[in-house]
Amino acid sequence: MLVGEQPGDQEDKAGEPFVGPAGHLLRKVLDEVGIDEEEVYFTNAVKHFKFAPITEGRKRRIHKAPNLSELTACRPWLDAEVRRVNPELLVALGATAGKSLLGRSFKVTEARGTLLPLAAGRELPLNVEGADSADSDGHRHCLATVHPSAVLRAKDRHEAYAGLVSDLRVAARFLG
């Protein structure tokens, strides 16, 4: 399960996550590391598109980062998706998704590319058949990385892209 921040402008209009430029980049990386996108569930930590008002001359709405109360309000939907999908691995794409899954102190720069058990008290519930989606203690694992939109905004896109590929290779190895 790949968890992003929130829908972007194109995702909001289409009603589907990761269909804009960041989604196209993400799908390219998934293909490169050998993860079949048909086996991936795409979602966001926040379910609504928060954006700045359109100003003269702008063709698209510019997103604004969700705040803690919006993350908290949307958490029951994310929990329900995890119970329903029962993923082998959750991948937090960016700081907002990481904070939603791993807690407010999460920093993507410190944790990226590392398999982490979900923070104590934040474990997302397993469904009854969920034994193979968790370790022997019943904890789910999460891999944190940057959001693909960060790659698109990076000064050195080649290096940022290589970092995302490297992080998602860890996910591919975990998934076998």
Tens digit of pLDDT at every position of the chain (176 positions) = 999 988 776 776 777 889 889 999 999 999 999 999 999 999 999 876 666 666 666 555 566 677 777 777 778 889 999 999 999 999 999 998 998 888 888 898 898 999 988 744 454 544 334 434 555 455 679 999 999 999 999 999 999 999 999 999 999 999 98
What DSSP element (H or E) covers 85?
Answer: helix 68-85
Which overall architecture, per CATH, does domain 2-175 show? Answer: 3-Layer(aba) Sandwich (3.40)
pTM: 0.81
Q: Which two structure tokens, joined as six digits, stand for 25?
A: 């980049």
State the Cα–Cα distance between residues 28 and 87, nearest whole angstrom. 21
Q: Which two structure tokens, joined as six digits, stand for 115?
A: 């398999």
- 13-30 burial code (b ≥16 CB/10 A, e <16): eeeebbbbebbebbbebb
Residue 90: what pLDDT?
A: 96
Residue 123: what pLDDT?
A: 47
Strand, helix or coil at 34? coil
Q: Where are the domains of the chain?
A: 2-175
